[in-house]
């Protein structure tokens, strides 16, 4: 409304260009989907977003993980906050260095006040997962007079069939996956909660960057607010953009609320694996055009004007 202008409609993820492309961050009542091939780093992506929101914005975040345990997330989170290698934290070798030991202790004290919650849901039927989400909202977040959740974010890593109870009768796996997405979408709308969900890409995702790379069900694309692909950059892309501009790329494919990116453009992401840390860089077209503006809204005005679509 003009009487109460906002800097951004949704909750910021810490990745400004991604927020801009999908329509202003993670909006209430939406499922925002990021797809990646195995071992690319989608869990790190979700953790970077979650810790940013909880630490810098003070907004409660629930990370629902279908594969990793709480200890794994704790080690990665501490590495992200301190820039001490995950291996040093896992093995306890950080304690041999007084500087590293002090940084870890300081970070450990700080994270006690961060509203970041991790729940391992591996093997749980989907109905039980929904119950976990409802209990978290009731206990840790709270609801307003309309029964909707107060500001919070749920990260779901990642959407897959985990229990035979999720498949009944003659239902195919892709149909069951579609119903899971429907339930997640309905939950987001019912409680007006933004959900950042991750999915596996099929083998087409190795070379293609389109909606048909989403594994399992067309309902994922139908019901999501936006769909982006997260993948490793090719050697040619790294050489063209420069190694300093990252080793991963984020490609917003569809966005119902945002402007997305131009065809064949992508957001540069640098993943420093040993620290579990991701930083967002400029888009490929910005680098090509020499645009040097931090605000994506200003970039929109002239970043792509003179760039050929090749």
* CATH number for 270: 3.40.50.300
In a domain, 296, yes or no: no
In a domain, 37, yes or no: yes
Block residue for tokens 């620290």: 275
In a domain, 57, yes or no: yes
Residue-level pLDDT at 176: 73
Name the E strands within the chain: 31-36, 61-65, 116-120, 153-157, 195-200, 226-232, 248-255, 267-272, 277-283
Q: Which among 158, 153, 185 is positioned nearest to 66, based on CA atoms?
A: 158
3-state secondary structure of 187: helix
In a domain, 5, yes or no: no
Residue-level pLDDT at 308: 31
Residue-level pLDDT at 158: 79
d(CA 158, CA 65): 7
Query: For the chain, first and last CA: distance in Å?
Result: 39
Residue-level pLDDT at 99: 93
DSSP string for 110-130: HHTTS-EEEEE-TT--HHHHH
Q: Which domain holds residue 180?
A: 16-284
In a domain, 161, yes or no: yes
Q: How far is CA 198 from CA 155, 157, 307, in A?
A: 8, 5, 32
Give pLDDT < 70 ranges for the chain: 1-7, 161-174, 204-206, 213-217, 292-310
Residue-level pLDDT at 297: 52
Residue-level pLDDT at 7: 62
In a domain, 195, yes or no: yes
Q: Are the C-beta atoms of residues 307 and 288 closer than 8 Å to each other?
A: yes
d(CA 21, CA 256): 10
Q: Count structural domains, the chain.
A: 1
Estimate to the nearest angstrom the gap between the alpha carbon of 128 and the chain centroid: 23
In a domain, 71, yes or no: yes
In a domain, 308, yes or no: no
Which residues is 3 bridged to in the sheet? none
Residue-level pLDDT at 165: 53
d(CA 111, CA 267): 29
**Strand order, beta sheet including 61-65:** 116-120, 61-65, 153-157, 195-200, 31-36, 226-232, 248-255, 267-272, 277-283
């Amino acid at each position: 409304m003009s009487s109460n202008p906002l800097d951004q409609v949704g909750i910021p993820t810490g990745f400004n260009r991604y927020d801009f492309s999908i329509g202003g961050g993670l909006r209430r009542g939406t499922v925002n989907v990021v797809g990646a091939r195995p071992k690319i780093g989608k869990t790190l992506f979700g953790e970077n977003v979650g810790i940013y929101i909880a630490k810098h914005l003070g907004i409660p975040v629930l990370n629902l993980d279908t594969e990793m345990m709480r200890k794994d997330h704790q080690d990665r989170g501490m590495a992200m906050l301190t820039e001490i290698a995950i291996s040093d934290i896992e093995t306890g070798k950080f304690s041999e260095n007084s500087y590293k030991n002090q940084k870890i202790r300081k970070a450990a004290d700080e994270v006690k006040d961060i509203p970041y919650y991790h729940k391992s849901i591996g093997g749980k039927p989907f109905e039980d997962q929904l119950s976990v989400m409802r209990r978290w909202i009731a206990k840790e977040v709270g609801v307003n007079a309309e029964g909707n959740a107060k500001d919070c974010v749920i990260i779901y890593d990642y959407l897959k069939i985990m229990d035979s109870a999720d498949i009944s009768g003659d239902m195919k796996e892709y149909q069951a996956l579609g119903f899971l997405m429907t339930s997640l979408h309905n939950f987001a709308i019912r409680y007006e909660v933004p959900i950042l969900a991750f999915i596996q890409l099929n083998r087409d995702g190795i070379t293609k960057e389109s909606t048909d790379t989403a594994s399992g069900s067309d309902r994922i694309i139908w019901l999501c607010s936006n769909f982006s692909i997260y993948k490793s950059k090719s050697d040619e892309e790294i050489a063209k953009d420069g190694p300093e501009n990252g080793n991963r790329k984020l490609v917003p494919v569809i966005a119902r609320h945002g402007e997305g990116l131009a065809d064949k453009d992508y957001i540069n992401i640098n993943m420093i694996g040993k620290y579990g840390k991701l930083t967002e860089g400029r888009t490929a077209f910005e680098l090509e055009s020499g645009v040097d503006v931090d605000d994506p809204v200003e970039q929109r005005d002239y970043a792509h004007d003179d760039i050929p679509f090749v």
